Amino acid sequence: MTPATSAVDTAPKTYAWEVRATGLSVRAGRRKLAVDGLDLALGTGTHGLLGPNGAGKTTLIRALATVLRPAAGSLELLGTPVGAMGDHRALRRRIGYLPQEFGYYKRFTVREFVEYMAWLKEVPKADIPAAVQRAVERVGLADRADHRMKTLSGGMVRRAGIAQAIVNDPTVLLLDEPTVGLDPAQRLRLRELLQELGREACVIVSTHLVEDVAAACSDVVLFADGRLVFQGTPEALAAAGGPEHPGDSPLERGYSALLSNSAQPGGTW
């Protein structure tokens, strides 16, 4: 890929929704339908994508990252349809993506890794040094920027992954289990960063940790068996449960109540 030699169009654009899915179905592998008939609209803000393991969260995130294409229905990102065919390079310049697992050259320093990812995302060459420095500072790795990736702890590698996801100042930021491996202090800082980023971008955080959503997100999307169970504020999620439902907090009890109801015959999604 040849890096861009001219500035990417950064003029502000207004979208009804940064993400809109209508009847969206996505397969994980050849047969399994991991996302099944999803209707969803997300705008600027920090959105928590909650659900148990196997709910389809990662498949949905990969579809939003244009890694997977829809099997049925429609998906629009930043006003651009995402289909089975087509070149989505221009769209990907506006997206930041942290998968659960990501590859890197172990001999790269943190700075070199984030620089390389900025180059792949076609950040203008003249802008890369400042963009990289800002990204590593925002994830608390400025003092490790010139350390090799192979010397980092698991939590630091995760933070380097977050830095590469935000180096291009994305309009849509997709983070799949970003708090894995982070210690409590680092999780608190990440929550603050997510709130900050959500003021100007559509940030989607996939997690199974209810407390992360409560602390960082203004909107909750609850997902189970490939379908939408609930979308609303953390307060509305908490109000869905009662003392009879399992959980150590009102949010966990609301989460349990909605999942239990969706699993019942005739339960609403």
Report in angstroms the alpha-carbon separations of 268 from 14, 141, 220, 228, 234.
33, 44, 17, 10, 19
Per residue in 191-201, pLDDT (tens digit) is: 999 999 999 99
* Residue 145 phi, psi dihedral angles, 5° rounding: -60, -30
- Do the beta carbons of residue 184 and residue 27 sit within 8 Å? no
Mark whether 176 and 266 lie in a shared domain. yes
Mark whether 176 and 72 lie in a shared domain. yes
Per residue in 80-132, pLDDT (tens digit) is: 999 766 678 889 999 999 999 999 999 999 999 999 999 999 999 999 999 99
Mark whether 67 and 135 lie in a shared domain. no
Mark whether 176 and 248 lie in a shared domain. yes
Instruction: State the pLDDT at residue 264.
Output: 55
Domain limits for position 120: 95-169
One-letter amino acid at 91 equals L
Rounded CA-CA distance 18/190 in Å is 22
Is the residue at 186 inside a domain? no
Q: 151 falls in which pLDDT band (50, 70, 90)? A: very high
Per residue in 198-250, pLDDT (tens digit) is: 999 999 999 888 888 888 899 999 999 999 999 999 999 999 999 999 999 99
Any idea which of 88-92, 108-112, 154-158, 172-176 has the lowest mean pLDDT?
Answer: 88-92
Is the residue at 263 inside a domain? yes
